[in-house]
Each structure stands twice: as C-alpha cells, then as structure tokens.
Amino acid sequence: MKLLFDLNSLRPPRSGIGYYTQHLLEGLREQSDVEDVAGWVGSSVYSGTSLTDLMTDQTSLPAAAQFSDGLKARLLRKSRGLPGLYRMRTIVRHHASRALRRDFGRRGYIYHETNFIASPYKGPMVVTVHDLSHRRHPEFHPRVAVDYLDRGLPRTLRHAQTIIADSIYTRNEILEIYGVPEEKVVPIYLGVEPSFQPYSEEVCAPALQALGLRRQGFVLSVCTLQPRKNLHRLVEAFAALPAEMRQAYPLLLIGAEGWKNSTLMQSIRSLARVGQIATPGYVSRSTLLQLYASAAVFAYPSLYEGFGLPVAEAMASGVPVLTSNVTSMPEVAAGAALEVNPYSVEEITSGLERLLSDAPLRAELVAKGLRRAAELTWESTVKQTLNVYRALAA
C-alpha cells in the first residue's frame, strides 16, 4: 500500500490534529505492507528522510497564525472574520498541490485527510472527522469557520470511501446529521503518547519553579481558550470554592488564546491579581508533561468533545480527573473520572471541592485512570486505521 497525507496540520504550534497526523505517520511507516508514506505542504512533497525531518523538527514549516496580545491579536481576529477568507486559503492550497495530487492518484496512493476537509482527489480516499461541534454549537466558532465546514464537509463525506470518527459518539453524530451509510463510518479511538506518564518531583521541578507552583498544589486545565471548553463556568465554579482552598490550589489554564473569550479573560483578572489563577498560554511539550504529572486535579468540564484527548492524557499522567457527563467524555473516561453536569456551576464547584478534599477518592481515580489510559494507545489507533486502508486496497 502507498499512502498520502496533507501535512498542513503539522505546522507549529502543533495542535491535537497535528499530533494525530504525526502519530499515524510514525506508526504506518513501520508496517511491512506499507510501501510508501508521503505528503505535501503547498507544492512540496515530503517522503522518506524529508518526511522524518518534517515530523521531528517543528521549525521546518512556517508557523500557523496564532492569537496573541495587543495590536497583532486584534488584527488577526478581524482578518479571520473576513468573508471568503477560509475559502480563499483553500483555493490557494488546492492550486499549489493540484499537480502532485494528480500524480499520486495516478500512482495508486490512498489519500487520508486527517483534518475534516479533503482536497479533490481521483483515487481512494479516507477522511477523519474529529467532531461536529460546528453543527451542534455553531455559536462556539467564528462564523467563517462554520461556513467553511458547512460548505466543504458534505462534499468530503460524499467522496470519501471511508470516514473515521474519533469515538462512537462522533460516529453516531455523523450518521444522524449527514445520513451517510452506516458501513461507511468507522469509530477508532485516539491514543495517548507514552511520554504522558507519572513523573517524579525532581523531573517536574523546572516547570513548577518557572510558574511558582508546588507539586500537587494546583488545579490544571489544558485547552485552547474558546467557548466550547466551558472555561467561564470552570472559573466561576473555582471562584465559589472556599478562599483558603483557592489559595492552596490555584487554577492553571494552559493553552493558546482562542476566540470569543473576552468575558472569560475579564472574569480571570481579579483572581489572577491575588495569585489564584494563572494563564501562561501555550507551553512547550516538556513543560506540559511536567505540569500534567504535577497537578492535584485535572479539570475538563467541556461542553462538547468528539473524543477529549486531554482527559486520557491526564489519566495517563497519574492525575485524578473531573470532566463532563455529556458527549464523548463518559465514553473516553469509562468510569475512571468524576463526571459532572458541565452546565451546572454548582456541580463543577462541588466536584472540585470533593476531589481536593478527599485523598482516598483521588487515589482511587488515579489508579482507575492509569488502567483506562493504558487501553488507549497509538499502536491500536494505527492498527485499526491500517485495516481501513487494507479494506480499500483489497
């Protein structure tokens, strides 16, 4: 088999879809019946050594535009709201890669689009759909992004021979909303990197010292700061905890600044001034691993997830997890987390207080979480994805 990927998701800073793509590439290249794995960015083709270099060196591609503070952030937000922006970017990318896609199609490559919208391709095609939040909760996203997905995703789902969903929940969403044949949609869970594991206090010291934190002395949440992640309710719930508990266990929000979060940032300020909330933004992978392994509690009361990989990463890191009882989160946690109604600030507050004050419960969830996370491996993800390709190649 010969496999082809759009590698734009590998642009730094690498997001969840970027790491999904990377782990697939790494695992597939080790399979005996995979003759070649190739991909493109613009008009450039990557295979063999050049693909290895691209996967391991995140500086080899220009960074994707990111929100930041000040004038640059304001200009970026305005530009992302321009009508036709996503469509124009898509047209430019399709034009740059048109000739090479035709060549790969003639040579019998199976094209796997890992990021929702596939480029036109005359050959067997697989697409991964990670969630359908743009349909269930369009209010959580920039309008241009919703329009882009509404236009492009139905076409992609029609043309793809197989659709991979991150969970059974997402598979059911695809079937209900788009009415595609049941046999066309395959649920394949994501995996957890082996680097997410419990680490000693000595290993975690650099990250803790840099942020002025103590081991098992803070509540951690990791996500892009956007409405779907329900951070405004998490912050409100945290603010309702007893003052001494907030002081002993400050809330650490890790992630790039996203969109529609001005109200969230305002609510954070008063608690940040007294050292009870910190928002360091996007952090390095090594720092992230140390923070996961050092938290007292991982809080992820998201309103909608197609999988919820941070929940699995936290469990693998040996941290008790509080998460939502909706969408895919119960499926991923499989009874190894404390689940709450994410629309209830009172339930989130109660859950946080219970975990922070109940050491036996934390220990129980840590043990259950480690066992559950061990079942979610990238090796399994690659193996099941390879079976999809084999069925197409047969």
- The pLDDT of residue 72: 47
- For residue 163, the surrounding DSSP H or E stretch is strand 162-165
- The pLDDT of residue 11: 87
* Omega prior to 83 cis, within 30 of 0: no
**What is 219-232 written as a DSSP string?**
EEEES-BSGGGTHH
- The pLDDT of residue 15: 78
- For residue 251, the surrounding DSSP H or E stretch is strand 251-254
8 Å CB contact between 149 and 117: yes
Q: Which two tokens stand for residue 112?
A: 């796997």
- The pLDDT of residue 268: 84
- The pLDDT of residue 262: 64
- The pLDDT of residue 264: 74
- The pLDDT of residue 67: 42
CB neighbours of 356 closer than 8 A, spacing ≥ 6? 219, 241, 245, 249, 296, 297
8 Å CB contact between 163 and 182: no
Residue 196: inside a domain: no
Instruction: For residue 334, give Cα distances in angstroms to 86, 220, 323, 350.
Output: 37, 21, 11, 21
Angle between helical axes of 309-316 and 359-374 (0-180°, round to 10): 110
Q: How far apart are CA 120 and CA 332, in angstroms?
A: 33
Q: Are residues 320 and 307 in the same domain?
A: yes
Q: How far apart are CA 389 and CA 394, in angstroms?
A: 9
Q: How far apart are CA 371 and CA 380, in angstroms?
A: 15
8 Å CB contact between 137 and 143: no
Q: Which two tokens stand for residue 163?
A: 């659709």
Residue 114: inside a domain: yes
Q: Are residues 166 and 235 in the same domain?
A: no
- The pLDDT of residue 86: 61
**Residue given tokens 């109200």 in the structure block:** 263
Q: How far apart are CA 367 and CA 205, in angstroms?
A: 23
Q: What is the DSSP letter of 167?
A: S
8 Å CB contact between 220 and 355: no
Q: How far apart are CA 23 and CA 386, in angstroms?
A: 13
- The pLDDT tens digits of the residues spanning 220-238 come to 999 877 788 999 999 999 9
Q: Which two tokens stand for residue 26?
A: 């790494």
- The pLDDT of residue 267: 76
Q: Are residues 53 and 153 in the same domain?
A: yes
Number of domains in the chain: 2
Q: Are residues 278 and 337 in the same domain?
A: yes
- The pLDDT tens digits of the residues spanning 270-294 come to 888 999 999 998 899 999 999 999 9
Q: Are residues 122 and 250 in the same domain?
A: no
Q: Are residues 288 and 388 in the same domain?
A: no
Q: How far apart are CA 291 and CA 198, in angstroms?
A: 10
Q: Are residues 88 and 234 in the same domain?
A: no
Which residues of the chain register pLDDT less than 50? 65-70, 72-73, 76
- The pLDDT tens digits of the residues spanning 154-204 come to 999 999 999 999 999 999 999 999 999 999 999 999 999 999 999 999 999
Q: For residue 244, give the CATH number of its domain.
A: 3.40.50.2000
Q: Which domain holds residue 228?
A: 201-374
